Amino acid sequence: MKDKLSLGISPCPNDTFMFDAMINGRIDVPFEVEVEYADVEALNQKAFNSELDVTKISFHAWAKVMDQYQLLTAGVAMGFGVGPLLISKEKLDLAKLDQYTVGIPGIETTANFLLRYAFPQITKKEVLLFSDIEAALVEDNIDLGVIIHENRFTYQNKGLHLIRDLGTVWESETNSPIPLGGIAVKRSLSEAVKQEINQIVRTSVQFAFDHPSVSQDFVSQFAQEMDPKVMKDHIDLYVNEFSLNLNKVGLDAIDHFLTEIINFNIISSVPKDHILSIKAQ
């Protein structure tokens, strides 16, 4: 295996929780890991430039770089009730959605695709860092905002209102869990390396499940202003059975998601080997 591996993850609690063991030497990792911490939209852009060996990526962005990256079967953020929320400061008329400016956490995010899926008439969008969207609403800089991550637990404290749970729209029409983001590996790495990386990520996630308190300081380091309960709720929501290993339900959900991506003319086809085929361990 190569001596060094570049890894990109977000500083959000779900990622730092899952990757704590891998990054901090709590499990055997036979190479040096060089970690970059960045917002998921920044990681999406790095993937477009093929900058990282292994990276967190939005499923919407991954669909566009499947020729460069395969999806691992571990580390996925997917589930029911995990979707982005469309919120506002005032209760607005849904019949006038095409007139409102909506803050989104990135063009290439799955959140933006789910907004388009639920409300294709919305075209006025302003890209903001996900953590700045609540403040932009409070200060009347935007009319609506699509929130992700920990903000779904805090927006009501700021007097903001839920307009629509975009995940519920997806779930009600597809009966599938929501594929938000995954861990992708460069196709150019050898098959043996890719298989080992997948197993290491799975082992890191399993360690986190088995020893949930061990990663607390590491998670807190990157979420310094987050209430401990919000951090726990965040992890409990986004890290689940799909994070440990994609099962048939998860694989079918990804297939359905990619079909919808094709229906929206975002991509034209899906390569057969888009997800790493896991060999017997």
**Which residues are marked as active site?**
149
Residue 268, strand partner residues: none
Residue 14, amino acid: N
Instruction: With H, G, I as helix, E, B as strand and everything else as coil, classify residue 182.
Output: strand
CA trace torsion 51, 116, 179, 217 (10° rounding): 70
The answer to whether 84 and 114 have CB atoms below 8 angstroms apart is yes
Beta strands 161-165 and 178-186: pairing type?
unpaired
What the block records as the tokens of 74 is 């571990």
Tell me if 166 sits within 8 A of 111, measured CB to CB.
yes
How many whole angstroms separate alpha carbon 179 and alpha carbon 206? Answer: 20
**How open is the CA angle 107-111-113, to the nearest 5 degrees?**
65
Give whole-number Cα distances, 161 to 54, 85, 166, 194, 244, in Å: 37, 10, 14, 44, 34
178: exposed, middle or buried (Cβ count in 10 Å: 0-12, 13-18, 19+) = buried
